[in-house]
Chains A and B, each alone.
Chain A
Amino acid sequence: MNPALNKVLLGITPIALFLALWQSLITFGYAPVTMLPPPGAVFLRLGQQLFTSDFLHEIAATLLRLFAGFGIAVVLGVIIGLAAAVSPAINAVVKPLVRVMAPIPKVALYPALLLILGFDHASKITLVAADALFPILLSTYYGASMVEQKLIWSAMAAGTPRAQILFKVVLPAAMPSILTGCRIGLVISCIVVFLAEMITSTDGLGHMLVQAARTFQTVDMFVPLITISMLGLILNSLLHGLRTYLLRGFPEV
């Protein structure tokens, strides 16, 4: 057997064990079906719902907020991060602000956002953006401030105008770090959008979970959870694909 296949098999084992444990808890009567539905029932329900328009509508609502918030976070994070790395004056302002704002639990700001921006998309998108912003900003900043000085000197010696150095040297050199930050930001966006929808919402996956919990439909509680996990995996692998495309020719880090 080749080693790659071996690794995959080894990785599937705990997932299979986890599912087996889940099933056996029910089969041997440790957990009543009303409290813990069997995995088969959950996946069956997921399969049934996956192609109904209602469910797709919920996913679309969640994805819209997720992408909007994440997109804002990427744009702002990269711009502010680059600016702080390039200009000492901006750095002096941004650094203490980030130090203070990064450890604040953003979920606690959600009530304020609700009161100011209302119960619609805007408050949720802002929350997602606020949470995803800092990892992207910080990794852009570190990536850009660690660009080798020699690279910049060579570019200048080759006659690159100063204004273009930012886009032709610093940005590409910081790209691996920026993409790592984006990856963290993406996972956070998944988590936060779900939580925001759980707190106040009329649609979206988080709302589905709360709705199911209120009516004690345990099967329906598991479906949105599994869906967000799979969405996270899919988005993550898309980002990974983008990374391999953008970083082609880079030495493997």
Chain B
Amino acid sequence: MITPGAALSKSAPLLACIGLLCAWQVASLALQTESFPTALEAIRAVPSILGDKESLVNIGASIRRMAIGLSLAVLFAIPLGLLMGRIKGVASFFNPLLMIIYPVPKAALMPIIMLWMGVGDMSKTLVIFLGVSLPIIYHSFQGGKAVEEKMLWSGAAMGLSAPQRMLRIVLPAALPEILTGCRTGLVLALITMVTSEMIARQSGAGNILFNALDMAQYDTVFAMIIIIGAMGILFDAAFEKLRGWLVRWSKPQHDMPLSFS
């Protein structure tokens, strides 16, 4: 038996989506410009994009690049972040460099990386990797720093070596924070993916979006925005499920990540 209140809070995000689409519909009816189709027209254009084999392949390629870039970043950034959190020297070694790199838009490196590696998958994946790594490093660093000394002492007293302590104490203890970083990273990967494809117009979801803009196919532009937006919402919701299961032992956390850097 589901109470009405619980049902309402479960369907609230869905209601929010519908509300946004309604607002869009009203706004475009009010503005009446040709370049701003109504929500219904845009939704009607979605099946034709998803039905087209070439666009599907393109979107699939985008998601593949994103997945590879994100996984590489996770494998690289979590160990580095945890080491920075546990060893002071490592932290003061890397911190200034990271601070300099942080405000540089990673997708802006795209033109330079394209010079070296061409417009192919390599450069786009590399840009995604660079963009995603920083927040994950930062959150792993914070998580590693906050691990209680006492647990480490107990571990050492029970004869765990330093690498074992890292793996069996620091990693699980910092996991909630690390996963917050990964969630930020996931959204960021999607952003970087779109931007990199927009700069290297060759394939991918971003390419479809901006080509449609150049060719004034406004329905396609807005349909593509819906598709990319839906991808963002779905990935985020799926990751949230996974995160909830992985850290089900920890205190319930904020249901929204704090940083979207």
User: Within B174-210, which residues are at the interface with A (CB < 8 Å)?
Assistant: 187, 190-191, 194-195, 198-199, 206, 209-210
Instruction: Report Cα–Cα, A206/B110, bound state, in Å.
Output: 12
When distances are taken between beta carbons in the complex, the residues of chain B under 8 Å from A15 are 96-97, 100
Bound form: Cα–Cα A142–B212 in Å = 40
B115 beta carbon closer than 8 Å to chain A: yes
Which of A100, A198, A213 has its CB near the most chain B CB atoms (within 10 A)? A100
Q: Please report the C-alpha to C-alpha distance between residue A111 and residue B105 in the assembled complex, in whole angstroms.
A: 19
Rounded to whole Å, the gap between the CB of B28 and the closest CB of chain A is 9
* 0/1 interface trace, chain B 205-241, chain A, CB 8 Å (1 if under): 0100110110000100110110011001101100000
Q: Which residues of A lie under 8 Å from residue B111 when comparing CB positions?
A: 209-210, 213, 221
Residues of B within 8 A of A134 (CB): 260
Is A87 at the interface (CB under 8 A from chain B)? no
Chain B 1-36: CB-based contact to A (< 8 A → 1; otherwise 0): 000000000001101110110000000000101011
Cα separation A103 to B185 with both chains bound (whole Å): 11
Q: Mark A237-253, 1 if CB is under 8 A from B, else 0.
A: 00000000000000000
CB within 8 Å for A97 and B103 given contacts A13-B93, A112-B221: no
Q: Could you give, for residues 34-76 of chain B, a 1 whenever the CB lies within 8 Å of some chain A CB and a 0 otherwise? A: 0110000000000000000000000000000000000000000
Stretch from A44-52, A53-61, A164-172, A222-230 that touches the partner: A222-230
Chain B, range 71-122, C-beta contacts under 8 Å to A:
89, 92-97, 99-109, 111-112, 115-116
Interface-centre pick from A7, A13, A105, A209 (highest chain B CB count, 10 A): A105
Chain B: how many interface residues by the 8 Å CB criterion?
64
Contact assessment for A218 and B258 in the assembled complex, using a CB-CB cutoff below 8 Å? no
Residue of chain B at shortest CB distance from A222:
B112
Q: Chain B residues near A225 (CB, 8 Å)? A: 104, 108-109, 112
Residue of A with least CB distance to B224: A108
Evaluate contact between B13 and A233: CB separation under 8 angstroms.
no
| Residue B149 CB within 8 A of the other chain | no
Chain B residue numbers with a CB within 8 Å of A36 are 116
Expressed in whole angstroms, the Cα–Cα distance for A148 and B19 within the complex equals: 34
B154 at the interface (CB under 8 A from A): no
From A12, A14, A15, residue with most partner B Cβ within 10 Å: A14
Contact among A18, A107, A232 for B102, CB-based, below 8 A: A232
**Interface assignment of B164: CB less than 8 Å from any CB of chain A:** no
Report if A96-B15 is in contact (Cβ < 8 Å); known contacts: A195-B108, A232-B103.
yes
Task: Please determine whether B191 and A106 come into contact, CB atoms closer than 8 angstroms.
Answer: yes
User: Which B residue's beta carbon lies closest to that of A111?
Assistant: B213
Within 8 A of B (CB), among A82-105: 92, 95-105
The listed residue (B13, B20, B107, B260) touching A184 by CB distance below 8 A is B260
Residues of B within 8 A of A209 (CB): 108, 111
* Among candidates B94, B190, B222, B256, residue contacting A14 with C-beta atoms closer than 8 Å: B94
What chain A residues lie within 8 Å of B236 (beta carbons)? 102-103
Contact of A100 among B13, B92, B107, B225 (CB under 8 A): B13
Contact B99 A107, beta carbon cutoff 8 Å: no
Contact A103 B96 (CB under 8 A): no
Bound CA–CA A11/B97 (angstroms)? 7
Q: A138-159: contact bitstring with B at CB < 8 Å (1 yes, 0 no)?
A: 1100100000000000000000
How near does chain B come to A241, taking the closest CB pair, in angstroms?
A: 15
Q: Which residue of A107, A188, A221 contacts B261 across the interface (Cβ within 8 Å)?
A: A188
Contact A228–B260 (Cβ < 8 Å): no
- Chain B residues with CB under 8 Å of A187's CB are 102-103, 261
B254 CB within 8 Å of chain A: yes
In whole angstroms, what is the CA distance A115 to B221 when docked? 10
A229/B100 contact (C-beta < 8 A), A111-B225, A135-B260, A218-B115 known? yes
Chain A CB within 10 A, most for which of B218, B222, B259: B259
Closest CB of chain B to A236's CB: distance in Å? 7
In the assembled complex, A199 has its CB within 8 A of some CB on chain B: yes
A185-222 Cβ-contact flags toward B at 8 Å (1 or 0): 00110111011001100000010011001001010011
Please give 14 more A-B residue pairs, beta carbons under 8 A apart, in addition to A11-B93, A209-B108.
Answer: A7-B92, A15-B97, A15-B100, A104-B233, A105-B194, A111-B210, A180-B258, A184-B261, A191-B103, A216-B115, A221-B111, A221-B112, A228-B103, A229-B104
Give 8 A-B contacts (CB < 8 Å), ordered by A residue: A11-B96, A100-B13, A111-B210, A112-B36, A116-B35, A191-B105, A194-B105, A225-B104
Q: Which 10 A-B pairs have the closest CB atoms?
A: A232-B103, A103-B236, A96-B12, A11-B96, A213-B111, A96-B16, A191-B105, A108-B228, A115-B35, A104-B229
